[in-house]
Structure 1
Amino acid sequence: MNKFSFLLLVLCFSSCVSTKSTIKNIDNEAIKPKIESGSFVFTDYATDKNYGFQPDYPINIGVILEQNEEVYIDYFFNGLSGPNSEKILFKKVDSCCPFPTKNSDMGVGLLSIYEFYFEGSTKKNTLYFNIYEKGKIMCPKGFSIKKLNVR
């Protein structure tokens, strides 16, 4: 690749990233929930209806390696159920919303978008996750904390 093409590529990538993060709920002092039986043990419910449902208020499950994202997303959903104890079905559908971060080799992070629905329903919704920053991990509005069978 010649130098001009390389510079053009770098310029394109850097122009997509804001120099200031718009994420509102980063907490570098946050402690991840305990993990038991492959699930986060949730202790708190989110009071903000935007938590997880808006890109500016993602669920900050970082700082974790990209290859561990799926494991931590499983911990998250395994610790929750629907409002009436329904099983949650989910899958990653996209990434979006570049933001600056010191926790990525490239200096840029992306939010992961997960689509979910509650068993017995066809209504789909999305949650935004951030693996590059820390924040208090809570049960989002519309979900319930699963009762875990832990000894």
Structure 2
Amino acid sequence: MKKLILSLVAASIITACATQKQGTGSNQGIGDTRTTAVEHLDDRTYKLTAHADDKTYGYEQKNAIKVGGAREQSGPLNERRFLNALLGPNGEAVGYYREGSCCAFDTPNGLFGNAGMLDLYKVYWEGGTDTLSLYLNMYDKGDLLIPVGFTAREE
């Protein structure tokens, strides 16, 4: 039974990766690009100070937010640290949930060979009319910016 379950899980992962690999023409495969040290407001929240000029930052697969940490086993925590730092456009508290993984890409920081998957989060705030989608990359490290349409916690 254990072998059957493992075989099914492996087949699902291979199928998902093969399906999602299509259309991978993104900049996700360049690995670590961070030039600025990451600061924290607390253990669960990054301190974000710089705003993204690029309207695709975080909103498109090819320009996912590179929080890093997968190799150090802090990838999911780093994703939450980033999202916990965000506020709505007028300082509203933000809520979020993980929609799932998608969008396989090549990375030198992959845990299984040179492959990684993006995580898709849905983000919303009270009084907001839409739920926005943000793509996060927990394999590669990049400079962390405030996506267009958001502000960030200061304390």
Range of TM-score over shorter length: 0.7 to 0.9
Instruction: Give the stretch that moved more between structures: 113-122 or 66-75.
Output: 66-75
- Determine the structure 2 residue equivalent to 1:34: 39
Report the alpha carbon displacement of residue 32 of structure 1 after superposing the two structures with TM.
Answer: 4.5
**Percent of pairs identical after alignment?**
29
Query: What aligned pairs does 1:2-151 form with structure 2 within 5 A after superposition?
Result: 15-16=18-19, 17=21, 22-23=26-27, 26=30, 28-30=32-34, 31-37=36-42, 38-65=44-71, 68-106=74-112, 107-148=114-155
- TM-score, normalised to structure 2, is 0.77
Which is richer in helix?
2
Aligned to 2:104, what secondary structure does the other structure show? strand
| Structure 1: gaps of 5 or more residues | none
1:119 and 1:14 map into 2 onto residues whose CA distance is 35
Aligned to 2:75, what secondary structure does the other structure show? helix
The one-letter code of the counterpart of 2:151 is S
Task: Give the paired residue count.
Answer: 143
Q: Is this contact kept in 2: 1:101–1:132, CA < 8 A?
A: yes
1:34 and 1:134 map into 2 onto residues whose CA distance is 14
Report the alpha carbon displacement of residue 124 of structure 1 after superposing the two structures with TM.
Answer: 0.7
Q: Is this contact kept in 1: 2:124–2:130, CA < 8 A?
A: yes
Distance change in 2, residues 1:87/1:11 (3 Å) = closer
- TM-score, normalised to structure 1, is 0.78
